[in-house]
Structure 1
Amino acid sequence: MLLRSKMKQQFPWMRFYEPKDVPIGPHPLPMWEADFASYDNRVLWGEVCDFIKEEHEDLSVLVHPHSFDGDYADHTKNAFWVGDVLELRIQGWKR
């Protein structure tokens, strides 16, 4: 939760969701989510990604957009990992 706390301080404009104590959706481990809260904030993508790369420590972080390509593309070809890559639970998802 240290990365989450640091991000909340560094990027107070981001929207942070409650952490999940169990795997949810395609995520194989408990997780938390943050998003850009507004399409206008997309210009800050690089700044946020650079921060995550610097501060992730031993966490595996999936960074992905919410695009019109769909969930499968957003979690695979449109995404990138910081730290160890985890196998997502995406069997049966529409490609």
Structure 2
Amino acid sequence: MSDLQPDPSGAIVQQPERITAYHAHVYYDPAESRDRAALLRERVGAIFPDARLGRWHDQPVGPHPQAMFQIAFAPDRLSAILPWLMLNRSGLAILVHPDTGDAYADHARHALWLGAILPLRLDVLKHSEPTT
């Protein structure tokens, strides 16, 4: 059975079970806010040891318009990690999105922002429309 089911109107309803992980991209300015990002990264690693901390990217990479690092975590950790990031982001912009296998939709339509919303370079992402 497909995890994409139409609702009574015929629109596709995606099931949350499609989400295999979440990513939080923490953006910073290498010259002005990398220290705050480093402290946040250290705290996340200490408080959430099951979260996977990605490499530092001091230059834009992929769809990301400025320096960032990624925090990856299991779906069952969203309810703990998201509120913590909301309250402790130290003024940094953070993009949080699911991983459903559709990178374009995950970054463009399924994402939420903490702090400033940055313009992503979505043209570099693969896009696949859900089908039944």
| 3-state DSSP of counterpart to 2:110 | coil
Query: CA–CA distance in 2 between the matches of 1:92 and 1:81?
Result: 20
Equivalent residues in 2 for 1:20-39 (5 A)? Answer: 20-36=57-73
Is it true that 1:84 corresponds to 2:116 in the alignment?
yes
Query: In structure 1, what is the equivalent of residue 104 of structure 2?
Result: 72
| 3-state DSSP of counterpart to 2:113 | strand
Alignment root-mean-square deviation, CA: 1.4
Q: What is the Cα deviation at residue 91 of structure 1?
A: 2.8
| 3-state DSSP of counterpart to 2:123 | coil
Q: What is the Cα deviation at residue 92 of structure 1?
A: 5.9
Query: In structure 2, what is the equivalent of residue 5 of structure 1?
Result: 42
- Consecutive unaligned residues of structure 1, counting only runs of 5 or more, are none
Compute the TM-score of the two structures, normalised by the length of structure 1. 0.86
Compute the TM-score of the two structures, normalised by the length of structure 2. 0.63
Q: Kindly indicate whether the alpha-carbon contact (under 8 Å) linking 2:62 and 2:124 is maintained by their aligned counterparts in 1.
A: no
Task: Please say which structure displays the higher CA radius of gyration.
Answer: 2
Query: CA–CA distance in 1 between the matches of 2:48 and 2:124?
Result: 35
Distance 1:92 1:42, change over 3 A: closer
Query: CA–CA distance in 2 between the matches of 1:92 and 1:34?
Result: 21
Query: CA–CA distance in 2 between the matches of 1:18 and 1:34?
Result: 9
Query: CA–CA distance in 2 between the matches of 1:49 and 1:10?
Result: 13
Q: Which runs of 4+ in 1 moved over 6 A?
A: none
Q: 1:75-94 CA deviation, whole Å, 9 max, x = no partner?
A: 02111000000000113643
How many aligned residue pairs are there? 90
- Consecutive unaligned residues of structure 2, counting only runs of 5 or more, are 1-37
Higher RCO (CA-CA < 8 Å; seq separation 6+): 2
The percent of aligned pairs where both chains have the same amino acid is 32
